[in-house]
Structure 1
Amino acid sequence: MDEPVAIGRRVARLRAERGLTQRALAEPSYTPAYISTLEAGKVRPSEAALRFLAGRLGTTYEELSTGRPPHLATELRLRLTDAQRTLATGDASEAAGLYREVLDDAERLGLDPERAEALLGLGECALEAGDLAAATAHFEAAEQHLADEPPPRKARAVRGRAVAHLLAGELRYACYLLETAIDELTAGGLADPEALVLLYTAVISPYTDMGAHARAVHAAETALALAPQVHDPALVAGMHRQVARTFLASGRVAEADASLAKAQSVYRQLQLRTDLAHCHWMRGYVHSQNGDLASAEAELRTARDMLAARRAALYTAQVEVELADVLRRLGRGPEAAELLSGLLDLGDSHGAVHAAGAHRLLGLMAEERGDTEAAERHYVQALALLERSGAGGDLADLCRLLGDLFRRTGRTEAALDAYRTGLGHRAAPGTTTLGPAPAGVPGVVGGGGGGPARAAGGSPS
């Protein structure tokens, strides 16, 4: 709100333009003396007074309190919609340019809601481009602008930050962010269904990768129970895509594929290309786990081509690890090795988890051809890359592979050390290292468990 003098001058000008006396403007809720004092800038009007006066003057509260014409915010929201459409169907860098223009104008005009939306959009663009530091910064800035808003309004910013940390391999911190937000929503009695589905859907992936399968199943069941109250089709589709992971972990392959088919249909209808690529990716993973390697290769190649066309570097790398595993199982080792060799440099960046997946597969391929020295080297490099990630299942699996290698080559003590290390990394079923699980949503029952399902280099997120 502007200073009282500026507001008073604005009220006086609009009153004069409309040919109203101070008495005509004031009645029946206020006195002519109050209007006189207000126009002189000697009193700061309340929000209720300004809304009353705006109605009498035929303008808006926003224009009366700030001097900004009401159409400015509307124009910015239309431009935000254009940027969102560009991100969904076009190029992330082009969408980022549109979001930056909106952000600059929103900051200049002091329009905080539009500023927060632009920051969230920039965060999504940075995620797709693989710039995780920029994504985190944008989501944190959006949270700061939304600090005084109710918890449901902050859910997208929290989810974005958590995904950035997940892609950086920081699984435990991603869980912490999402669990804290869920607890804040439920404890405050603000159990907004869309916000909760967004958060529960996002936490399935880190739970699964950490080996906390009972928690992943509980999150999936809670999201499914809340879904009928959600009106955003893209959000429901994203939920089905993640719920498919818990079905697969429980050996319910047909149900996993049915969930992905639902999501794929929505994404195709809405032309959400990155999300559609993720569906192809996950369906490839389902086919791979079910032993249908030809179908898995076709789906993964489609996903890789779609993501590469959108220059989504980190997501493309994840798909290439999955595709290389399928090629290895098809007996096309040299083709798989060539694909993996381009991923090893990711170990110096936020792609360390994917580089670890590449080293793991190269180690398996080295063992298959009898080169135990090369296999050990790749396994050790993969372990070093994964140490800080908290990916309990992947770390335990690598320790098992390394222990088996040591045992076969007669190094019993080294094998025992590797197995003990793997046991230390393995999370207890249904738990994280973060304390109690998030509080349940009143009236929603979730639970159950399932066995693990792991991909060569991190399952689709």
Structure 2
Amino acid sequence: MMARAQAPDGADEEDRTSPEAIGRRVLRLRTALGLTQRQLAEPAYTAAYISTLEAGRVRPSDKALRFLAERLKVGYEELATGRPAHFATELRLRLTGAQQELATGSAGRAAARYRELLAEAEAHELDAECAAALLGLGSCALETGDVLLAREHFEAAEKRLAQAPLPQRVPAVRGRAITHLLAGELRYAVYLLESAIDGLNASGLHHPDALLLLYTAVIGPYMDLGAPARAAHAAELALALAAQVTDPALVAQMHRQVARTLLAEGRTAEADASLTKAAELYQQLQIRTELANCHWMRGYVHAQNGDLEQAERELRTAREILAERHAALYAAQVEIELADVLRRRGSRQEAGRLLQGLLGERVPDPGAMHVGAAHRLLGMMAEEAGENETAERHYATAMSLLEQAGQAGDLAEICLLLGDLFRREGRADAAMDAYRTGLGHRATPGTTTLGPAPTAPPLG
């Protein structure tokens, strides 16, 4: 966590409203105006009172503070707290500007603005504004692919809000969970999100925005863990909550994630409609990265339907937007989907270049899930080229990585690919072992291994 800056008046970690801090401010302001203690005090007070006040030996009343503020030509709030009048309000407006810069402009420029705002918020000990700046920095780091830095920022934001009600801490919890998800730590990501969901629902108060943020975030890891039933239930609850939420970006995010569950159920037309709603909202809000993610998901939908030409078009659009924004991590994930489409369309050389680029140094830490997916595709292409030994090596690497991430569904598929490879080579025992391993993963639905489902909210 970043250290707090020293407060004005030399008050390092000191209460700004203490008699000592107020006394120092009065002394500094009086000296700057060239007033004597008597000139400042009269006619309402005495020079001795001002001397005692400046020494921090007396706490001035509100009446005295208002009198002195007028004589010192500052606002009451600035004299009482050390913060200029309306400073927090203006800082929040500038934080909104930085958020807009992240959505529509450059993550690098947004991060620079957030760092500047964080320093100001720290100097004035505004914890809520510090947390907002840290959340922004976390989002910038996610966009540029620095997952560990993003996690540090989200953890620091959560600590800043340690004494705040849970609904205010939810964005930081959700951000931290996303970093664990991207790092392949699916179960821990689910644990963080479900714990927060239970905490909100156990409070007896209804917090639609916070709950929608959490239910939307948990759909992805549920799907990756092979728990589609739980993902579908989270999607149903998210859809029910959406009517009570006014933030269009949050609603768009919900539609994009709900599309995953609809697709898993074979409801491709509804999935495409959900993605269309999300894309329209992101287009209106000019949130480019999320718009790219909608193109990415639509590409996946078209690929599942066998429309590979349209799938390639959508995925290339997503990749182009993300490359423009220097969103290396998300662009790499899109390239895995694009490589699969290119492989199926016969463009194996380009597919191979994309995947080898992902495994190189272009993306610092793409995460176990995505590296595993790349090895799976490289194995399939090697097998199609008759290079069975290379294919087996890629499949084994993919299995190891996906076991580390706990991706049950993809593990089962790789076991099937490996079993089929062994069977064609006449290695019956090895094939049976691979098939049994795959069945074991298929037999683990996720709902039992994840523990009890979180309490549902009172939707009325």
Measured at CA, do residues 5 and 285 of structure 1 come closer, stay the same or move farther in structure 2, by a change above 3 Å?
Answer: same
Q: In the superposition, relative to structure 1, how do residues 138 and 282 fare at CA in structure 2: closer, same or farther (>3 Å)? A: same
Alpha-carbon offset, residue 407 of structure 1: 1.6
Instruction: Tell me how far 1:350 sits from its aligned partner.
Output: 3.9
- Residue of structure 1 in register with 2:329 after alignment: 314
2:239 equivalent in structure 1: 224
1:4 to 3, 6, 19: 19
1:165 aligns with 2:183: no
Structure 2 unaligned segments of length 5 or more: list them.
1-15, 31-38, 46-51
**Kindly, what percent of the aligned residue pairs are identical?**
66
Give 2:209's match in structure 1, choosing from 179, 194, 201. Answer: 194
* TM-score, structure 1 as length reference: 0.85
CA gap 1:320/1:118 in 2 versus in 1, 3 angstroms: same
Distance 1:376-1:430 versus aligned 2 partners, 3 A rule: closer
Aligned-pair CA distance for 1:384: 2.1
Q: 2:318: which partner in 1?
A: 303
Kindly provide the CA deviation profile for residues 242-273 of structure 1, in whole angstroms up to 9, marking residues without a partner as x.
00111111111111111111110111111100
After superposing the two structures, state which structure 1 stretch, 82-91 or 328-337, moved more. Answer: 328-337
Indicate the larger mover: 410-419 or 306-315.
410-419
The 1:152–1:55 alpha-carbon spacing in structure 2 relative to 1, beyond 3 Å, is farther
8 Å contact kept, 1:345–1:355: no
- Which stretch shows the higher mean deviation, 338-347 or 189-198? 338-347
SS at match of 1:393: helix
Q: Distance in 1 between matches of 2:206 and 2:160?
A: 22
Superposed counterparts of 1:51-450, under 5 Å = 62-345=77-360, 349-426=365-442, 428-429=444-445, 431=447, 433-443=449-459
Distance 1:131 1:410 in 2: 45
Equivalent-residue separation in structure 1 for 2:41 and 2:86 (angstroms):
20
Q: CA deviation at 1:62?
A: 4.6
Q: CA deviation at 1:341?
A: 1.8
**Counterpart amino acid of 2:287?**
L
Equivalent pair of 1:210/1:427 in contact (CA under 8 Å): no
Instruction: Summarize the Cα distance change of 1:187–1:109 in structure 2 as closer, same or farther, 3 Å threshold.
Output: same
CA distance in 2, matches of 1:224, 1:55: 55
User: Is the partner of 2:405 in helix, strand or coil?
Assistant: coil
**Which letter maps to 2:454?**
P
**CA–CA separation in structure 1 for the residues paired with 2:76 and 2:447:** 51
Deviation at 1:18, TM superposition (A): 12
Contact 2:174 / 2:217 at 8 angstroms: preserved in 1? yes
Question: Comparing 209-218 with 418-427, which one deviates more in the overlay?
Answer: 418-427
Question: What is the DSSP-based 3-state SS (H/G/I as helix, E as strand, rest coil) of the residue aligned with 2:243?
Answer: helix
Give the Cα separation in 1 of the matches to 2:152 and 2:391.
39
1:78/1:367 CA distance change after superposition, 3 Å: same
User: Using the alignment, how far apart are the partners of 2:329 and 2:205 within structure 1?
Assistant: 35
Equivalenced residues, count: 429
User: Cα offset for 1:40?
Assistant: 9.0
**Is the 1:243–1:259 Cα contact (8 Å) retained in structure 2?**
yes
SS at match of 1:388: helix
| Structure 1 CA distance for aligned equivalents of residues 149 and 159 of structure 2 | 15
For CA contacts below 8 A with separation 6 or more, give which structure has more relative contact order. 1
Distance 1:265 1:372, change over 3 A: same
**SS of structure 2 residue aligned to 1:316:** helix
Aligned equivalents of 2:383 and 2:272: distance in 1? 33
**How far apart are the structure 1 equivalents of 2:278 and 2:240?**
17
Any idea what SS the aligned residue of 1:211 has? coil
- Asked if 2 retains the 8 angstrom alpha-carbon contact of 1:119 and 1:142, the reply is yes
Cα deviation code 1:396-430 (max 9, x no counterpart): 11111111111221112111222232233346335
Could you tell me which amino acid in structure 2 is paired with residue 423 of structure 1?
L
State the alpha-carbon separation in 1 of the partners of residues 237 and 42 from structure 2.
60
Task: Answer yes or no: is the 8 Å Cα contact 2:241–2:459 preserved in 1.
Answer: no
What is the CA distance between 1:55 and its match in structure 2?
A: 12
Q: State the 1:214 CA deviation.
A: 0.8
